[in-house]
Structure 1
Amino acid sequence: MTRIAFLAAAGLAVSGCAGELQDFGREPRLSPVGSGLQAYREPVPVAAFPAVARPSEQSLWDPSRPNLFSNTRASKVGDIVTVRIAINDRATLDNASGRSREASGKTGLSLGFSLNGEGSSLSADGSADSTSKSNGKGSIDRSEKIELSIAAVVAEVLPNGNLLVSGSQEVRVNFEVRVLKIAGIVTPRDISPENTVPYDKIAEARISYGGRGRLTDVQQPAWGQRLYDAVTPY
């Protein structure tokens, strides 16, 4: 019986930390682009680049060359647009909460009886007190500043004409890799004549700036400490 109870408790503990163990040793995952609009939208698809038109041997016109009067802004699947990222945010939050409750009760009981002219009495008193109190306090002071550019590819043209774009960039320096990813939905009219768009014009934007390598591994706690934090209920 003790073994069954132990296995049941272990099962509950493992099920409670299943979400933590699923991402054990990984970076936080971003939700798919468009998840705020549709609950079950698939992840960003890979762009299917159209075939390049081949000029005729007898023609002087090459359709693969840019047209002097054509629009150079991204508009179809496979086109590239440059995203300008300039984030300079600061947030400060300070919250405090408190709760207190007290309860008390008192009871008394008295009994008396007599037998053959002789009497006797019995009395009892009882009291109960309870006190509950909790205090909580939390604060956040965060500052972020990122200025860079990244090229993104039009992965899909939505039915209303908006563009679903995604792009990534990796730079390796010694044993550390810097990884930048961006995805979101862009309105064609927000793209400038230079074929650039600011990040604050991207709807459902998903911006990830991080890295992997030896420095990132050293900055993280040891795997034993992370495993303990994931499974401990306190």
Structure 2
Amino acid sequence: MTRLFALPLAVMALVACQPLGEVGRAPAFSPPETTTEHAALYRMPLPDRVESQRSTDQASLWSAGQRSLLGDRRASRQGDILTVVIEINDSAEISNNTTNGRSGSSNMAVPQFFGIPQLVDRHLPGGLAVGAGIETNSNSTFTGSGSVRRNEKLTLRVASTVVERLPNGVMRIEGQQEVRVNHELRQLLVTGFVRAEDISRQNEITYDKIAGARISYGGRGIISNVQQPRYGAQIADIIAPF
């Protein structure tokens, strides 16, 4: 019996000790060495093809290289950095009303059927008769209504890194940003797929041009912990049958 309670108590103690480690201290930043951006910046991709260059090619002002005066400086390779502009100002209001009603009645009598009803009536107790037939009535009414009102506004800019270039030219980007103010850490995560032609000359791209965009803006710290219910309350809400 002791072993049955030892494991749940150990798990609860382990979960409860995690916030206690940050008591009196600001939340720590996520290590950048474990991110995909860090791996993309430090791992140089293989070129699609090798082209011979002369020693004087980079000295010309009119060359098309990325580092030249008139070259295209937009992100196009793994490890390049571009700016993602997030300006979300969405509002939606939906209202639905549904009313449905139905009524019906039926009456069926079998007074004569080869004398069978009369034969059966002799053996029925209480004066019951088959000839009276069957009479049913039904009535159903349904009324439903629902409404949705949503208003979202978010304006952010975050530098993202090209972590992979697919064979069709589409690039997968990831961006992470952490800002710590006092004991609260705000995190911004952006990931998705972009086309090179959608990147502006300022090396920027808006969020609505990112396919499969995943944007997360949240945080952790003292304020975030207070806004969340306790672990016991969350578990009780899950397992409570009523």
TM-score (norm 2): 0.58
Q: How does 1:66-215 map to 2 (within 5 A)?
A: 66-99=67-100, 122-123=127-128, 134-215=142-223
1:46-101 alpha-carbon deviations (Å, 9 max, x no partner): 525345xxxxxxx9x999x9433432110100100001111111011223345556
Letter in 1 for 2:127: L
In the TM superposition, residue 135 of structure 1 has moved relative to its aligned partner by: 4.1
Q: CA, structure 1 residues 233+106, in 2 after alignment: closer, same or farther (shift >3 Å)?
A: farther
Q: CA, structure 1 residues 136+172, in 2 after alignment: closer, same or farther (shift >3 Å)?
A: farther
For 1:66 and 1:89, how far apart are their aligned partners in 2?
39
Q: Greater helix share, 1 or 2?
A: 2
For 1:103 and 1:229, how far apart are their aligned partners in 2?
43
Decide whether the 8 Å contact of 1:112 with 1:121 is kept in 2. no
In the TM superposition, residue 210 of structure 1 has moved relative to its aligned partner by: 1.5
Q: Greater strand share, 1 or 2?
A: 1
In the TM superposition, residue 161 of structure 1 has moved relative to its aligned partner by: 0.8
For 2:170 and 2:178, how far apart are their aligned partners in 1?
27
1:168-202 alpha-carbon deviations (Å, 9 max, x no partner): 11111122211111111111111112211111111
Letter in 2 for 1:123: L
- RMSD of aligned alpha carbons: 3.8
Larger radius of gyration: 2
Structure 1 counterpart of 2:40, from 38, 47, 58: 47
Decide whether the 8 Å contact of 1:47 with 1:77 is kept in 2. yes
5+ residue gaps, structure 1, are 1-43, 52-58, 114-119
Structure 1 counterpart of 2:227, from 219, 224, 228: 219
Q: CA, structure 1 residues 75+222, in 2 after alignment: closer, same or farther (shift >3 Å)?
A: same
- Aligned pairs, how many? 176
In the TM superposition, residue 156 of structure 1 has moved relative to its aligned partner by: 0.7
TM-score (norm 1): 0.60
Q: Percent identity?
A: 41
5+ residue gaps, structure 2, are 1-35, 45-54, 60-65, 110-116
In the TM superposition, residue 218 of structure 1 has moved relative to its aligned partner by: 2.1
Q: CA, structure 1 residues 228+181, in 2 after alignment: closer, same or farther (shift >3 Å)?
A: same
For 1:216 and 1:192, how far apart are their aligned partners in 2?
36
